[in-house]
Structure 1
Amino acid sequence: MSLVLLLRQRGRLTATELAEELEVSTRTVLRDIEALSAAGVPVFAERGRHGGFALLPGFRTELTGLNPDEALALLVAGSRRGTQAFGLGSALASAMLKVVDALPESYRNTAADVAERLLIDPETDLLSRRLVAEEVPGTILAEIRRAVFAGNKLRIHYAAVDQAPTWRTVDPIGLVVVRDQGYLLATRSGADRTYRLSRVLAAEELTEPAQRPERVDLDLAWQERSTRFRTGGDQIVVLVRMNPGRREDLVSTALAVRTEEPDTDGWLRLEVAFQDTRHAEWALWQLGTDAEALAPRSLRITLRDRAAAIAARYA
């Protein structure tokens, strides 16, 4: 079945290419090609330099009964949280029921037994900390998905940080989920924009076609926007001395490390960029006495006042 699906999706492939994709020998591929032909699957060989194996045009192997949302859910099922972030959890559940029902009976029981032995991305970790994904109403997600897939403009009521919600019309490009957080990549008046799905309060697909390229490399687009985010805006650079054993804890939350050198007492001295003052305060507070902000002075005052308030509370 995997061999047939590869030929369906890729077209003509050589025995060597099929063997590499399926991680088997070319001898196994040739034997399976013969078995498929004997079973009535219209696979044929083309000779010559650009030859290979192909299926007769129009041949399909169909999993019947899947609706578009269920098919989409299966495509993003590699990340269970991806289906949740895009509002496809229920579609995935119903699609998997249809997949199981389509299996031969001898495989169905085996698949069910195996599935009980696997758990992916549980809701809590070993410390019983609940991993909470952002909640976005299904009706809003459905409207956003429709606009993205249909290529139409989208009107959203968006609540940016520390701003009153406003309506804005955008040209949607694609959807991205990162660490349980969903984002809409779009343009507005030709400028790149990234919107957090949890901050969309309402959405309406418009009938006007979106102004966007026919094809897009979402991975590249996300990398470019991430780079601009890390290097632009109202960033703050903080001079920190810290215990080297906590370096990775700091670096993993920062936007960038500008400079780094050993201090005289075995600690490290770093210049670290953060998104803003609030981001810097949060990151350094997590490190307790293993780090000290040397500059800017305003951040030292903020951390001192916060520590004093905590000490007073527990006096």
Structure 2
Amino acid sequence: MRADRLVSLVLLLRQHGRLTAAGLAGELEVSTRTVLRDIEALSAAGVPVYAERGRHGGFALLPGFRTELTGLNHDEALALLVAGSRRGAQAFGLGAALASAMLKVVDALPESYRDIAAGAAERLLIDPETDLLSRRLVAEEVPDAIVAEVLRAVFAGHKLLIHYAAVDQAPKWRTVDPIGLVTVRDRGYLLATRSGADRTYRLSRILAATELAEPAQRPDRVDLDRAWQERSTRFRTGGDQVTVLVRVDPRRREDLVGTALSVLAEEADADGWLRLEVTFQDPRHAEWALWQLTTNAEALAPQWLRDSLRNRATAITTRYGVSS
């Protein structure tokens, strides 16, 4: 355990440049006294750790110091092997590179760790291609050439010219400033700005892409997780949202709530059913969600939704009312 901690301490100093004893203690989840003892042990072993005094002082490594810090432990090796089974890398065209990296990692492991880690990884399956009902989970296909251009522009910080087909619109050429890439349930998204405004583009709808030589207008650092959360919030609260008043069997409440964007109000009716006021992304979303609940829910308002559900039920009844 101490050997792992010493390696982690050196890696932290290499990554951050300078850290206080308290900062190191927080990262390593040990006491400051333990950190000081570890610093002494590293110095005794020839690792050039030195202390800087003053208000902004701390511990640091001598500039230019590097050492080979190999020797993955069992859990670290297992984590890498499991990560290699995930399909998320496919969305960014990195599947082949990830597979190659996993081969190199396995080959570099000590033989004892290699057998144990590989055997454990065989007993974990992440994101299989089908669910329990044998429904195939289809990942979106994006041509490698397009992904390669997008990745180059993102990493180089250059503007990107894309031919994009938005929903229900003719494809258009757009010049964007790429910020980063996000994958959600095997769907890849490009986060970018256009004329200073935030934009999110689905990779599967990019028909062509060309990295430009002009530098992108974007911040040097970005918190992708925060950016994605902000855009998700704007997506859920914008557009053609509709509010629906619905009665639902309490046994199907979670099914209803799980498909809605938000629950505005809820109360119990005298017969034990629940009356909820919920919002959906648009009329089509509302109709789809209520149709899934069959007779376990009833849309009370708006009237257009009741009419739409009735017309759909009538069409189904007509189709199956007469024998073929």
TM-score when scaled to structure 2? Answer: 0.81
- Measure the CA separation in 2 of the matches of 1:233 and 1:29: 53
Show CA shifts across 1:10-61 (max 9, x none). Answer: 2333455444433456676566555544554333455677655432221224
Select 1:89's aligned residue among 81, 89, 95. Answer: 95
Hey, what does 2:221 align to over in structure 1? 215
The gaps in structure 1 that reach 5 residues or longer are: 65-73
- Measure the CA separation in 2 of the matches of 1:63 and 1:95: 17
- The amino acid of 2:191's aligned partner reads L
**Inter-CA distance 214–34: structure 2 relative to 1 (3 Å threshold):** closer
Hey, what does 1:67 align to over in structure 2? none
**Inter-CA distance 207–118: structure 2 relative to 1 (3 Å threshold):** same
| 3-state SS, counterpart of residue 202 of structure 1 | strand
- Measure the CA separation in 2 of the matches of 1:138 and 1:63: 34
The gaps in structure 2 that reach 5 residues or longer are: 1-6, 71-79
| 3-state SS, counterpart of residue 303 of structure 1 | helix
Hey, what does 1:232 align to over in structure 2? 238
Select 2:147's aligned residue among 141, 144, 148. Answer: 141
For residues 138-177 of structure 1, the aligned pairs below 5 Å read 138-177=144-183
For residues 169-208 of structure 1, the aligned pairs below 5 Å read 169-208=175-214
Greater alpha carbon shift after TM alignment, 53-62 vs 30-39: 30-39
- Measure the CA separation in 2 of the matches of 1:117 and 1:34: 42
1:106 CA displacement:
4.3
Native 8 Å contact 1:63 1:102 kept in 2: no
CA RMSD in angstroms comes to 2.9
Hey, what does 2:255 align to over in structure 1? 249
1:287 aligns to 2:316 (yes or no): no
Show CA shifts across 1:122-165 (max 9, x none). Answer: 33333433333322222211111111121111111211112222
- Measure the CA separation in 1 of the matches of 2:123 and 2:35: 31
1:21 aligns to 2:30 (yes or no): no
- Measure the CA separation in 1 of the matches of 2:124 and 2:38: 30
- The amino acid of 1:196's aligned partner reads R
- Measure the CA separation in 1 of the matches of 2:235 and 2:320: 39
| 3-state SS, counterpart of residue 273 of structure 1 | strand
The count of aligned residue pairs is: 304
**Inter-CA distance 52–208: structure 2 relative to 1 (3 Å threshold):** closer
- The amino acid of 2:116's aligned partner reads T
**Inter-CA distance 52–212: structure 2 relative to 1 (3 Å threshold):** closer
Greater alpha carbon shift after TM alignment, 24-33 vs 225-234: 24-33
Native 8 Å contact 2:192 2:200 kept in 1: yes
For residues 262-301 of structure 1, the aligned pairs below 5 Å read 262-301=268-307
1:177 CA displacement:
2.0
- Measure the CA separation in 2 of the matches of 1:167 and 1:135: 20
**Inter-CA distance 272–167: structure 2 relative to 1 (3 Å threshold):** same
- The amino acid of 2:99's aligned partner reads A
Greater alpha carbon shift after TM alignment, 113-122 vs 279-288: 113-122
Greater alpha carbon shift after TM alignment, 168-177 vs 304-313: 304-313
Hey, what does 1:123 align to over in structure 2? 129
For residues 78-117 of structure 1, the aligned pairs below 5 Å read 80-117=86-123
| 3-state SS, counterpart of residue 126 of structure 1 | coil
Native 8 Å contact 1:230 1:256 kept in 2: no
- Measure the CA separation in 2 of the matches of 1:285 and 1:189: 41
| 3-state SS, counterpart of residue 139 of structure 2 | coil
Native 8 Å contact 1:63 1:99 kept in 2: no
1:219 CA displacement:
2.5
Native 8 Å contact 2:85 2:125 kept in 1: no
Show CA shifts across 1:93-121 (max 9, x none). Answer: 11122223333444333333333333323
Over the matched positions of the two proteins, sequence identity in percent amounts to: 83
1:9 CA displacement:
1.0
Show CA shifts across 1:194-217 (max 9, x none). Answer: 111121122111112222222223
